[in-house]
């Protein structure tokens, strides 16, 4: 190959390169997506867990919603108050304060306390229990199945199965809500971090039925209701419910409960 051929090839390649560069530059300017500076700033302070606990498709979705004024500055359950304060500063608004929430499993039917109808050796998955006899081996149809769907769903390693029942570590919990949506029995709810007592039962059966299947199940007797000095307890659907906004943590309900279904939150 002679020298002129090499030079020609180099010129062609150079011209093509310049043309492609100019084309990409023009295309980039023409199709450039404008990004809200506040949105980028908010995204920068969000924890980046993309857990979905805020109700949006990851942290980027929440950041966009906050920037547009469609979501509150404290909408991130993982970041909590520190992140909310930073976002409020970015958005130029006052930070909205709210008490930290944690997940709580309303069941204390451990292997010792709750009866079982049979031994189960199948797939270890709570959602599969609807396909097996009686909805699972546990006699109580409202109790924790203990196969750990909530454990698998929790991105913060805040739940573990202890003696057949899911237990939440309140120090690790970020209230993302993943465990709540993963529980087919709907036994998990969010309660204030400062809550002193909660009802560890969700049985929807009448008292006599509950007593046959679990020694610690709430029988809906109403003794807790009668003895609460603040009107913070009610019986609904055959089990007690504590209104945490009214509860002062006196512990009388737990002391008077004949089945010890009301537990101290630790």
The arrangement of secondary structure in 37-91, i.e. its CATH architecture, is Orthogonal Bundle (1.10)
Q: Is residue 169 within 8 Å of residue 159, measured between CB atoms?
A: yes
Domain limits of the chain?
A: 37-91, 101-264
Q: Is residue 253 within 8 Å of residue 228, measured between CB atoms?
A: yes
H helices, E strands: number in the chain: 9, 8
CA gap 146, 99 in Å, rounded = 29
Stretch (H or E) spanning 198: strand 197-199
Q: Residue 90 contacts by C-beta under 8 Å, 6 or more apart in sequence?
A: 38, 41, 42, 45
Q: What pLDDT score does 35 carry?
A: 62
What Cα–Cα distance (Å) separates residue 43 from each residue in 37, 84, 97, 155?
Answer: 10, 12, 20, 19
Among 159, 209, 203, residue whose Cα is nearest residue 185: 203
pLDDT in tens, 149-179: 999 999 999 999 999 999 999 999 989 889 9
What Cα–Cα distance (Å) separates residue 248 from each residue in 141, 242, 243, 252?
Answer: 32, 11, 10, 10
Q: Is residue 233 within 8 Å of residue 261, measured between CB atoms?
A: no
- Look over the chain and give the mean of its residue pLDDT values, rounded to a whole number: 89
Q: Around Cβ 195, how many Cβ atoms within 10 Å? A: 19
Phi-psi region of 129 (alpha: psi -120 to 50; beta: other; left: phi over 0): alpha
Instruction: Give residue 104's pLDDT band: very low, low, confident or very high (50, 70, 90).
Output: very high
Average pLDDT of 35-57?
A: 84
Average pLDDT of 43-62?
A: 86
- Global pTM reads 0.78
Q: What pLDDT score does 33 carry?
A: 57
Stretch (H or E) spanning 105: strand 101-105
CA atoms within 13 A on the CB side of 132: 20
pLDDT in tens, 68-88: 888 888 888 888 888 888 988
Q: How far is CA 155 from the centre of its chain?
A: 9
Q: What pLDDT score does 78 carry?
A: 85
Q: Is residue 233 within 8 Å of residue 256, measured between CB atoms?
A: no
Instruction: Give residue 219's pLDDT band: very low, low, confident or very high (50, 70, 90).
Output: very high
| pLDDT cut 90: percent of the chain above it | 60
Q: 101-264: what CATH class?
A: alpha beta
Q: What pLDDT score does 27 carry?
A: 66
- Which of the residue ranges 22-36, 137-151, 227-241 would you say has the lowest mean pLDDT? 22-36
Q: Around Cβ 87, how many Cβ atoms within 10 Å? A: 28
CA gap 211, 219 in Å, rounded = 7
Among 210, 209, 239, residue whose Cα is nearest residue 224: 239
Q: What pLDDT score does 133 carry?
A: 92
């Amino acid at each position: 190959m002679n020298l002129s051929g090499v030079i020609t090839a180099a010129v062609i390649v150079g011209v093509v390169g310049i043309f492609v560069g100019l084309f990409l530059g023009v295309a980039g300017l023409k199709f450039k997506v404008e990004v809200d500076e506040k949105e980028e700033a908010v995204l920068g302070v969000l924890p980046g867990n993309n857990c979905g606990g805020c109700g949006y498709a990851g942290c980027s979705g929440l950041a966009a919603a906050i920037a547009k004024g469609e979501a509150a500055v404290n909408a991130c359950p993982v970041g909590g108050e520190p992140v909310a304060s930073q976002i409020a500063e970015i958005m130029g608004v006052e930070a909205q304060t709210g008490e930290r929430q944690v997940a709580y499993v309303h069941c204390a039917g451990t292997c010792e306390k709750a009866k079982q109808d049979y031994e189960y050796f199948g797939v270890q998955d709570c959602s599969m229990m609807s396909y097996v006899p009686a909805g699972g081996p546990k006699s109580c149809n409202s109790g924790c199945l203990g196969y750990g769907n909530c454990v698998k769903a929790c991105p913060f390693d805040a739940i573990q199965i202890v003696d057949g029942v899911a237990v939440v570590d309140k120090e690790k919990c970020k209230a993302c809500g993943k465990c709540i949506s993963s529980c087919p029995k709907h036994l998990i709810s969010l309660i204030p971090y400062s809550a002193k007592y909660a009802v560890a039962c969700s049985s929807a059966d009448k008292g006599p039925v509950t007593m046959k299947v679990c020694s610690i199940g709430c029988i809906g007797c109403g003794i807790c209701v009668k003895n609460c000095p603040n009107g913070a307890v009610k019986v609904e659907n055959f089990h007690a419910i504590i209104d945490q906004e009214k509860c002062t943590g006196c512990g009388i309900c737990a002391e008077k409960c004949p089945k010890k279904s009301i537990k101290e939150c630790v």
